[in-house]
A and B are shown apart, each in its own frame.
Chain A
Amino acid sequence: MNPEIIYNTYPGLAWDWRVAMDLFLGGAGVGSILFAVFVDEFFQGKYRRIRQTAAWMSPILVTLGLVFLLLKLGRPFHAFNTLINFNPHSPLWWGGIFQPLLVILGVMYARKLNNIDEDSTNHRTLGRILVPLSIIVGTYHGLLLAINVSRPLWNTGPTVVAAILGFITTGIAAVMLVHLIRMKLAGRLDDGDHFAKFIDDMKVVRNILVGAILLQLFTFFLWWLSLRFGVLTDRQALALANEHYGPMFWFLGIGMGLILPLLLGGIAILKGEEKDRRLQVVIIMVTSFLILFGGFFFRLAVVLAGQLSLPLNPLL
């Protein structure tokens, strides 16, 4: 028989939407710099503008994420303490070191892309340094939650994998959305040849996106399995999360952020890209927006649900 606890020790919510925003923006920033390096490496000489968009977005998004995190701190002006004290056991300490580094190197990379000689290997070396650095920062965003043994909902391997896949999907979506807006503002969407070629080459990116979404759905399934058939506290955490944040996670995060974009992507493929260019633009914009929208709400639901207090099980 389960004990009924009539006075718990729960001292309130510690992390709110600002932490979710940091995870979301930081993840999108990591994804966008990887996208920039990817285009630079594999489409040498092409798509200078989308590369620039992606490279500049990364430091901006990561900085914005850090601003939200600073706003959540009780004493933001003491944040420098992270840099002058040493605790490698703390993911937050690693984040405090590596995120500013990613911003600084990201700005340097973006500045180099603004004015490069295509044969230059100088910026590519920097790009190759940025790849492992961004993966470390992306993984940190998962570890920040996953290392907490006190939070069964977060304390799983799939938490980290979901964070890594999340930065791939939201990073690509953020770049596509912002770049399309940038092209529209510059009047280049009307340049038929340019855009047709862009859409054609972006098939690779679309395939990566579809692959990442499918993997993310599979990761969520594994996450659910590990909790649903886990120990008592895992099952309690899952039941509490579903009770309080189920609609936000399943409907906004998974439904609108992953499944709907996947269906829209399918429509785009079936309709044929060359036939209706305008439809392609609309689908790319809507899909990107949905991935970003769902990406935020998925993180928000996870951050809030993970903090729901479980009953202290009776002494054995």
Chain B
Amino acid sequence: MGKVQYCMVIDLEACVGCSACDIACKVENNVPASFAWSNHIIETVGKFPDVKYRYIPTLCNHCSNAPCVAACPTTAMHKLDNGITMHDPSKCIGCAACRIACPYDVIYFNDKEPLVREEFLEPLIPECTSSQPGIQKKLGVPVGYYNPEREATLPGIRPRGVVEKCTFCDHRLAKGLPPACVEACPANARIFGDRNDPNSEVSKVLAKNHARVLKPEKGTEPNVLYIGEF
């Protein structure tokens, strides 16, 4: 058996399009409101009455041949031994070369102070309701919601001027837990594991099904694969 290569298979037939994965990801990773590490595409194909609707969840593909890693001038974007494409904000200069290089548009750039909702800076009703900074001060937390466990491998909130993206919840994997999106899926549409382990569920699913990837022509060898039809 070779080294670990984490991989996610998304069963579009099982997926119900509820977006629980997107919400779970945001809460687990303290993702800013305008970013979506876990995202989705909605497609409608054809004309009534012959219409087909598809919901395709998307996230960082943790490509084996990752163009973002090749493009990064400081090695801030790098591959871990387990196949995860990881980002080190301490090395990041904010050039966005990784964002340009990514064919899937799943890397986000913090061009503003993270997790600040400008509409909540002032109280909605002066001297009656609280502003966001007021609540934070009172509760002693950096933001209205915050998961401190994210700090294990990455700054809990990424600073202004750097990029951020899905990490396959590497901090949870270190504890033997699946990624938050996998755990949150009510339809068990996401299967996660080591594709180099023939006994893993993900290997068994891949052996039984014809798996597809997004933009195969780019040659990035994604580790997020899709089976079934929505």
Contact = CB atoms under 8 A, between A and B. Distances in A.
- A and B part of one assembly: yes
12 contacts: A3-B45, A4-B44, A4-B45, A11-B99, A74-B93, A74-B94, A75-B162, A76-B94, A87-B73, A149-B218, A150-B100, A315-B214
Interface string A79-114: 101100111011111011000000000000000000
Interface in A1-48: 1-12, 14-15
Contacts of A78: 91-94
B13 interface: no
B42 A89 contact: no
A314 interface: yes
B179 interface: no
Ranked 3 nearest A-B pairs via Cβ: A74-B94, A74-B161, A150-B103
B104 A9 contact: yes
Contacts of B212: 315-316
B215 interface: yes
A90 B56 CA distance: 31
B97 interface: yes
Contacts, number: 151
Among the interface residues B36, B43, B44, B46, which one has the most CB atoms of the partner chain A within 10 A? B43
B130 interface: no
Given A74-B160, A312-B215, A316-B216, A14 B96 contact: yes
A151 interface: yes
Contacts of A86: 75
A313 interface: yes
B161 A149 contact: no
A259 to B, nearest CB: 30
A148 interface: yes
B114 to A, nearest CB: 12
Contacts of A315: 12, 56, 212-214, 226
Interface string B71-83: 1111110000000
A79 B107 CA distance: 20
B215 A92 contact: no
- Which bucket holds chain B's interface residue count? 35 or more
Nearest to B216: A316
- Which bucket holds chain A's interface residue count? 35 or more
A316 B76 CA distance: 33
A226 interface: no
Interface of A: 1-12, 14-15, 72-76, 78-79, 81-82, 85-87, 89-93, 95-96, 147-151, 231, 233, 307, 309, 312-316
Contact of B70 (A11, A90, A313): A90
Contacts of B146: none
B168 interface: no
B54 interface: yes
A73 B74 CA distance: 13
B42 A7 contact: yes
Interface of B: 12, 35-36, 39-47, 54, 56, 58, 67, 69-76, 91-97, 99-111, 160-163, 212-220, 226
Contacts of A7: 40-42
Contact of A73 (B46, B94, B104, B226): B94
Among the interface residues B36, B70, B76, B109, which one has the most CB atoms of the partner chain A within 10 A? B70
Among the interface residues B41, B95, B101, B107, which one has the most CB atoms of the partner chain A within 10 A? B95
Contacts of A81: 74, 76, 91-93
Nearest to A70: B93
Among the interface residues A10, A231, A313, A315, which one has the most CB atoms of the partner chain B within 10 A? A315
B92 A15 contact: no
Contacts of A8: 41, 105
Given A90-B73, A93-B73, A150-B101, A314 B94 contact: no
Contacts of A93: 73-74
Contacts of B46: 1
A313 B213 CA distance: 11
Given A3-B44, A3-B45, A14-B99, A85 B104 contact: no
A67 B182 CA distance: 44
B106 A9 contact: yes
Given A81-B74, A81-B93, A315-B214, A73 B161 contact: yes
A147 B101 CA distance: 8
Contacts of B104: 9, 150, 312
A72 B109 CA distance: 12
Given A73-B93, A85-B74, A150-B100, 17 more contacts: A4-B44, A6-B43, A7-B42, A10-B105, A11-B105, A15-B96, A73-B94, A74-B96, A74-B161, A78-B92, A78-B94, A81-B76, A81-B93, A89-B70, A92-B95, A149-B218, A314-B43
